[in-house]
Amino acid sequence: MSAGSRATAAIVRAARVPVRAESDHRSEMVSEWVCGEVLDTGERRADWVRTRGPDGYEGWVHGGGLLQVDGATAEEWRAGAQLYSLGIRLDGPDASPDAGALWPTPAFLPWGARARPAGDAVRLPDGHEVRPSEPGRLVNDAGRRRRFPPEPSGLVATASAWCGTPYVWGGRTRAGADCSGFVQAVFAAHGVALPRDSREQLAVGPVIDAAHPDPGERRAGDLLFFGGSGTEITHVALCLGGTRILHSAAANGAVAADDLDDPPAALADLPERLRGVTRPLG
């Protein structure tokens, strides 16, 4: 950053950075940012920074996982970071104890992380160039669009590969995801940007039937939204067709498939909590 310029943005340099409700490590993790994402920054409290991510979500992040930069530097990184990670281990040079510090570069890039091409290597936000262990799991934007077209069968295939991903409140990667984080990450790979929370995701795409959702009208790739006793939306699931869904639920402990006609005992009330169905793929 040039002399006299002020940090108004940040680039995530750690593999994953927890986003917290308050500026405290003990505060609730409400989401997470991944390496290469560009954030807007605001209020600062000691080592903590108030951030807003590409999806508009806001929360507090410890500055240790960020490169705080000016707007021009952030835009330069965003324009050049054309590689999209599908979850990949990175091979960096061996750390030497004599060097006085361990290698600071992330050992992996989670799902959705961004990097720059650098010949046979990739360049990370901290400037280091490392080699991907499986180059096929790091695709450029054109390759991502070919590999993940915005159509239902491909979307379901991508989502199904997440089966077994642990349920983690605030998570949005294959290391752990909550219901809306799972849905957001899968749709993002297919070029469809969704908000972070399920109640906001309900506003994206035409509503199929908000009052009396008919299983016969649902298609693979639709989203089903569930609530509690009131009107607030508390859960989202991906439709596999009809009454079958794929979702990240705490009751299952992981991303798993269920059938609303015969849900497991821990989710027995899920069918009656259905509040609406949308079709983000149009």
The confidence band for 215, taking pLDDT boundaries of 50, 70 and 90, is confident
What pLDDT, on the 0 to 100 scale, is given for residue 35?
Answer: 97
Residue 239 appears among annotated catalytic residues = no
pLDDT of 128 over the 80 cut:
yes
Secondary structure class of 229 (helix, strand, coil): coil
Burial class of residue 268, CB neighbours in 10 A (0-12, 13-18, 19+): exposed
- Which uninterrupted H or E stretch holds 180? helix 179-189
Q: Which two tokens stand for residue 74?
A: 């952030």
pLDDT of 241 over the 50 cut:
yes
Residue type, 6: R
Q: Domains of the chain, with CATH numbers?
A: 1-140 (2.30.30.40), 152-278 (3.90.1720.10)
What pLDDT, on the 0 to 100 scale, is given for residue 217?
Answer: 83
CB-CB contact of 66 with 12 (8 Å): yes
Residue 212 appears among annotated catalytic residues = no
Task: Characterize 7-34 residue by residue with b for buried, 16 or more Cβ atoms within 10 angstroms of its Cβ, and e for exposed.
Answer: bebbbbbbbbbbbbeebeeeeebbbbbb
Give the DSSP letter string of 22-34: SSSTTSPEEEEEE
Q: Which of 36-45, 53-62, 134-143, 212-221 has the lowest mean pLDDT?
A: 212-221
Dihedral pair phi/psi, residue 85, rounded to 5°: -90, 140
- In the sheet with 58-62, reading across from the earlier edge strand, the strands are 29-34, 16-20, 58-62, 48-52, 38-45, 9-12, 66-69
Task: Characterize 38-65 residue by residue with b for buried, 16 or more Cβ atoms within 10 angstroms of its Cβ, and e for exposed.
Answer: bbbbeeeeeebbbbebebebbbbbbbeb
152-168: per-residue pLDDT in tens?
Answer: 999 999 999 999 999 99
Cα separation, 15 vs 184, whole angstroms: 18
Choosing from 35, 179, 190, 239, the catalytic residue is 179
36: left (phi over 0), alpha (psi -120 to 50) or beta: left
72: Cβ contacts below 8 Å, ≥ 6 apart: 5
The confidence band for 5, taking pLDDT boundaries of 50, 70 and 90, is low
Choosing from 128, 190, 235, 239, the catalytic residue is 235
Cα separation, 84 vs 172, whole angstroms: 15
32: Cβ contacts below 8 Å, ≥ 6 apart: 16, 17, 18, 19, 170, 171, 172, 173
pLDDT of 248 over the 50 cut:
yes
* pLDDT, average across residues 57-77: 96
Predicted TM-score (pTM) of the model is 0.91
> Percent of the chain, pLDDT > 70?
91
pLDDT of 99 over the 80 cut:
no
Cα separation, 91 vs 2, whole angstroms: 31
How many residues can be counted in the chain? 282
Choosing from 128, 190, 239, 247, the catalytic residue is 247
- Which uninterrupted H or E stretch holds 183? helix 179-189
Residue 235 appears among annotated catalytic residues = yes
